[in-house]
Amino acid sequence: MKIDHRTLRFGVIGDPIAQSKSPVMMNRAFEAVGINGIYMAFHVRPEMLKAAVDGIRGLGLRGVNVTIPHKLAVMAYLDEIDEAAQVIGAVNTIVNDDGKLTGYNTDGIGYVRSLKEETGVQIRGKRILLLGAGGAARGVAYALAKEQPEQIWIANRTAERAAQLAQALRPYGSVDGMGLEGLDDIKHKVDIVINTTSVGMHPQIDERPADPRMFPQGAVLSDLIYNPLKTRWLLEAEESGYRIHGGLGMFVYQGAYAFEYWTGKQAPVDVMREAVEQALRSE
């Protein structure tokens, strides 16, 4: 690829950002499809978020992914927000059309696609627990609610935040929020448990969001984290006989949907997955 004035520019903003595998995945995707594009990681602290969004316009970046902790705050600086992202209350993908910035959320649809394909589980009629109520949880909970589960619980350290998210999602199904102390009342009822927090992410790989053995043996335990591919949470669950589901598929599919928003071309999903796996193995 020759980088010149015609090269399309993309990136990801977050704090921290050094651990992100998005540049590896997206640059490999552009190469595979024959797009003259380059994708970079930008470390953006919260106090610099507005300036960074202004920079997207000023520098003419075609598209940007948004990761922790900016998915909620970035919405205040965009020109338009997709309907689903409005309901979710979080944006992870920005499309720049000649200076007009539109926000989307591909986290949830990426997660649901991955969960179905990799576990074969049917979401309809299931009872689902989400640990955490941040930006990623909002997208995942919304996409799950659209699949008609029997019940969704959201448990968070700050009960008020979980309750607010549950309230926003009630038009789409039965959703309740609680503090972590409420887990004792519902832990025996769950079919799927999802860690949506950053607990256990590289480099803090010895941490876990909860003891997996507190949940029913037949439950599927899932983690949105993809680095490491199996968190301590998932390793302990697997050793105890649970079905597990990691975050790599969600990461690849959310990126694939963003790629398609930006380029109008079908994303090379297999190439993207392989690129991330290779990067993780080389660490």
**From 71, 126, 187, 230, the catalytic residue:** 71
Flag whether 161 is marked binding. Answer: yes
**Residue 139 marked as a ligand binder:** no
158 annotated to bind ligand? yes
Is 71 in the active site? yes
Query: How many Å apart are CA 144 and CA 107, to the nearest integer?
Result: 11
Is 240 annotated among the ligand-binding residues? no
Q: Is 90 annotated as a binding residue?
A: no
231 annotated to a ligand binding site: no
Is 83 a known ligand-binding residue? yes
Q: Find out whether 51 is annotated in a ligand binding site.
A: no
Q: Measure Cα distances from 233 to 19, 24, 134, 184 in Å.
A: 19, 26, 19, 18
Please give the biggest Cα pair distance in the chain: 59
- Annotated ligand binding at 224? The verdict is yes
Rounded to an integer, what distance in angstroms lies between the CA atom of residue 101 and that of residue 78? 5
The number of beta carbons lying within 10 Å of the beta carbon of residue 181 is 10
Number of Cβ atoms within 10 Å of the Cβ of 8: 16
d(CA 176, CA 273): 34
From the annotation, which residues make up the binding site for shikimate?
20-22, 67, 92, 107, 226, 254
Residues of the binding site for NADP(+): 83, 132-136, 156-161, 224, 247
User: What residues are designated binding site?
Assistant: 20-22, 67, 83, 92, 107, 132-136, 156-161, 224, 226, 247, 254
Tell me the catalytic residues.
71
